[in-house]
Amino acid sequence: MMDARTASPVSDTLLRRLAGFTEACRHRPLTAAETDAMVTRLIDAMACAAIATGGEDFARLKATFVDERQPCTVIGGGRASLEHAAFLNSFLIRQQDWNDTYIGRNGGHPSDLIGGVLAAGEYTGKSGAEILRAIAIGQHVMLDLCDTGEVLARGWDPSTYLGIASAVGAGVLLDLSEAQLAQAISMTVVSGNILMGRTGKVSSWKGLSSAVAVRNSLFYGLLAKNGLTAPDPVFEGPFGFTRHVSGDLDLELDPQRDRTGDTHLKLYPAVYHAQGPIEAALKIHRRMNETFGEKLPAIESAHLDIYEFALRYAADTPDKWVPENVETADHSLPFLTAHSLIAGEYGPGSIARTLRDPAVRALAQKVSVSASPSFSKVWPEHTGSRLTVTAAGKTFSEEIDVIIGHPKRPMSRDTVLEKFLACASLKTDLATAQRWAEQLTDFPRLASISRALAGS
């Protein structure tokens, strides 16, 4: 059998470029600004994971996959094998739909890969600085992939791209050679194409698809490390990825480009496209309080104008007006708007509390949504939305040009730390949550990351 470490260079052009790009980046330390951006994103991802540790789905998964004899720490405590830790960590980061987003030609959630990179880094005894660099490399590949091809338009989930990016980030920490990394990427490409099965009525798969992609990429990395080889070509040729999955891929892959600050963070635990409408609805709620006092009149109508892409994923089917589970509700523009108008707040657990609320469900039926040509024209550089509400003969309107968390309106480190403490404090006491936050802030200087993962 040909050994992957010493195999001849692969013939596939893009496969060679991805492996070469990774090799060019893996020995270059992050700058201070790049480190700061990646620490902020790590803290944000860990906030999402911390709150998800209390969920029912995670309890089921933990009962099956956690084994204290295994080498890797699961976020929040417990141990598992490398692949299962990668799976569980990534599930925790994604499950609340509160982690980052990137919108290019295709969308995705780059920080989904952090769970696998953390597992790989602990497994191989890497430092915090080495792990942050690997996360940055994987994120760079994910963003470049999202900027090209037609994966979403062809019906494939963004986790298809995520698996490739995860193979890169984790491969760096598994000490794969350039030749081995090409094999791990190829195994991911040939087998990791995930259908877009999380629109309409949304299921648990929303939080699982990324975790499965990440887990598989770690497994393929171990196969490549042990000399197993993969198809070549895999992107090119009559049976290749670009012909059947993505369409043409024109990746930039510039190792000198800083992409650490290009992802979009979320202030609210809901689909990215609802961030502006939630902010607008909360502002209108406050204005109605000022106008009418605490006893608000019934809302007669609510209309949301937003960019066209948002309708495809958050107002695409009748289920979004009558969601039957939290997974659908937190991807529903009408329901999230109705909740925020009535409750005047939106945070962890909000949807679970009002999912069956008759007043919220009735108002959701009154929320109309339409695509605005002007907002659509400037999206995604701007994330415009306008909410117009009528009540007791008065009209209230709020327009959001750029959402909080967009690179044009970034979330500060302090805001991200507040998010982390709010989430971690639901899992543990405030003093422990604060110590956990300090460990994560100090992540670039950690020789071992185990305690920063466990939160102990």
* Residue 35 within any structural domain of the chain: yes
Say yes or no: 40 and 64 in one domain.
Answer: yes
Give the CATH number for residue 328: 3.30.1330.120
pLDDT of residue 9: 78
Dihedral in degrees, nearest 10, Cα atoms 437, 440, 441, 445:
140
Nearest to 22 by CA among 118, 166, 127, 151: 166
| Same-domain status, 174 and 211 | yes
Are 221 and 299 found together in one domain?
no
CB 379 within 8 A of CB 276: no
Q: For residue 257, what pLDDT is reported?
A: 98
pLDDT of residue 3: 53
Residue 350 lies in a domain: yes
Residues 80 and 189 occupy one common structural domain: yes
| Residue 300 is assigned to a structural domain of this protein | yes
DSSP secondary structure of 7-74: PPPPS-HHHHHHHHHHHHHTTSPPPHHHHHHHHHHHHHHHHHHHHHTTSHHHHHHHHHH--TTSSEEP
Predicted pLDDT of residue 7: 55
Q: Cα–Cα–Cα angle for 338, 343, 344, nearest 5°? A: 100
> Do 283 and 257 fall into the same domain?
no
Within-domain flag for 426: no
Decide if 355 is inside a domain. Answer: yes
Q: C-alpha distances in angstroms, 433 versus 47, 95, 103?
A: 10, 20, 31
Is residue 175 domain-shared with residue 208, that is, in the same domain?
A: yes
Q: Which amino acid, one-letter code, is at 129?
A: A
Look at residues 361, 380, 400 and tell me which one is the last residue of a structural domain.
Answer: 400
Q: 189 and 79: one domain?
A: yes
Per-residue pLDDT of the chain (456 residues; tens, 9 = 90+): 445 555 567 999 999 999 999 999 999 999 999 999 999 999 999 999 999 999 999 999 999 999 999 999 999 999 999 999 999 999 999 999 999 999 989 989 999 999 999 999 999 999 999 999 999 999 999 999 999 999 999 999 999 999 999 999 999 999 999 999 999 999 999 999 999 977 667 789 988 999 999 999 999 999 999 999 999 999 999 999 999 999 999 999 999 999 999 999 999 999 999 999 999 999 999 999 999 998 999 999 999 999 999 998 899 999 999 999 998 999 999 999 999 999 999 999 899 999 999 999 999 999 999 999 999 999 999 999 999 999 999 999 999 999 999 999 999 999 999 999 999 999 999 999 999 999 999 999 999 999 999 998
User: For 53-127, where are the E strands, in sequence order?
Assistant: 72-73, 79-80, 102-103, 107-108
- Report the C-alpha gap between 322 and 334 in whole angstroms: 9
Residue among 112, 157, 121 nearest 139 (CA)? 112
Same-domain check for residues 57 and 153: yes
Nearest Cα neighbor of 84 from 55, 45, 123, 129 is: 123
- Asked whether residue 365 is assigned to any structural domain, the reply reads yes
Q: Give the whole-angstrom CA distance, residue 340 versus residue 302.
A: 12
Establish if 408 belongs to a structural domain.
no
Task: Give the total number of structural domains in the chain.
Answer: 2
Whether 194 contacts 212, CB under 8 Å? yes
Residues 90 and 237 in one domain: yes
340 and 210 housed in the same domain = no
Locate the DSSP E strands across 367-430. 367-371, 385-391, 394-400
> How much is the pLDDT for 313?
86
- Whichever domain contains 166, its CATH number is 1.10.4100.10
Assigned domain for 3 exists: no
Q: CA torsion 243→134→132→424, rounded to 10°?
A: 60
Report the pLDDT value the prediction gives residue 201, as an integer from 0 to 100.
75
What is the per-residue pLDDT for 203? 87
Residue 1: the pLDDT is: 41
For 344, the domain range is 272-400
pLDDT of residue 197: 79
Asked if residue 173 and residue 221 are part of one domain, the reply reads yes
**Amino acid type, 198:** R
Shared-domain flag, residues 219 and 276: no
Domain boundary among 400, 419, 438: 400
Other C-beta atoms closer than 10 Å to the C-beta of 257 total 12
Of 400, 415, 436, the residue that ends a domain is 400
